[in-house]
Amino acid sequence: MNVDINMQDIIEQNMREQMCLLKQVMETDYSDKMIEAAKCILHAIRTGHKVLIAGNGGSAADAQHMAAELVVRFEKDREALPAMALTTDSSILSAGGNDYGFDAVYERQIQALGFEGDIFVAISTSGNSENIIRAVRLAGSRKMKVIGMSGQTGGRMKPFCDIIMCVPHDRTARIQEIHEHTIHTLCQLVEDNM
């Protein structure tokens, strides 16, 4: 089967773009921020607290992925770790969206489930998702540690994060690929140090 040359060009361009971005990320303080985030997560878990995670669209899938890696396992058999994606309960999301508006769906869950000492991992490629910003602000006011994962600038959520890892790119797909790498690395750092 012949592959259309345009398809091959797209594949190669995407791979080159991803490799260049990974190199660019390695030349920033991104890895230092990952270590800092992993230490915060470890401290929270060791002191009886939990990790709450949220995002929209592909970032919602990333939130669920991260929660699964922590609760079930990443690469090692070990005790389950307390983590929850705020993106998964369709009754809560639809009732919250209907009664309070979609901008409040994560804020409402932070209000119910987030306490001092817990971690909130906020994932937004733009950093400008109103429902994430509202949740981040509330989490901070409740003395939760807020870890942000975003794109180029961190957007409007940046000032409300204790730690923010900004991928130096403006293309959603490339940002999400680095977020996936970040989630796997954070889970490995936590798992290896438990």
pLDDT at residue 164 greater than cutoff 90: yes
Task: Provide the domain count of the chain.
Answer: 1
Structure tokens at 164: 């923010």
Worst-scoring range by mean pLDDT, 14-18, 80-84, 127-131? Answer: 14-18
Confidence of residue 145 (pLDDT cuts 50, 70, 90): very high
pLDDT at residue 3 greater than cutoff 80: no
Structural domain containing residue 36? 29-193
Confidence of residue 194 (pLDDT cuts 50, 70, 90): confident
pLDDT at residue 182 greater than cutoff 70: yes
Structure tokens at 178: 């680095």
What are 24-47's pLDDT values in tens digits? 888 889 999 999 999 999 999 999
- Residue 146 · residue 122 · CB < 8 Å: yes
Measured from the Cβ of residue 39, the count of other Cβ atoms closer than 10 Å reads 14
pLDDT at residue number 6: 87
The Cα diameter of the chain in Å comes to 58
Residue 117 DSSP code: T
What are 74-92's pLDDT values in tens digits? 999 999 999 999 999 999 9
Q: Is residue 17 part of a domain?
A: no
Please choose, from the candidates 46, 89, 83, 66, the residue with its C-alpha nearest in 3D space to the C-alpha of residue 184. 66
pLDDT at residue 5 greater than cutoff 80: no
pLDDT at residue 8 greater than cutoff 90: no
More confident residue, 190 or 28: 190
> What is the C-alpha separation between 178 and 4, in angstroms, rounded?
28
How large is the average pLDDT for residues 93-99?
96
The pTM (predicted TM-score) of the whole model is 0.93
- Write out the DSSP string of 45-79: HHTT--EEEEESTHHHHHHHHHHHHHHT-SSS---
Q: Is residue 99 part of a domain?
A: yes
How large is the average pLDDT for residues 138-148?
98
- Residue 124 · residue 132 · CB < 8 Å: yes
- Residue 60 · residue 87 · CB < 8 Å: yes
Give pairs for 66-71: CB < 8 Å, separation 24+: 66/121, 66/183, 66/186, 66/187, 69/183, 69/184, 69/187, 70/187, 70/190
Mean pLDDT of the chain: 94
Q: Is residue 169 part of a domain?
A: yes
We report the CATH number of the domain holding residue 115 as 3.40.50.10490
Q: Is residue 6 part of a domain?
A: no
pLDDT at residue 1 greater than cutoff 60: no
Q: Is residue 120 part of a domain?
A: yes
* Site of tokens 């910003």: 133
pLDDT at residue 112 greater than cutoff 90: yes
pLDDT at residue 136 greater than cutoff 70: yes
Q: Is residue 20 part of a domain?
A: no
Q: Is residue 9 part of a domain?
A: no
pLDDT at residue 129 greater than cutoff 80: yes
Q: Is residue 140 part of a domain?
A: yes
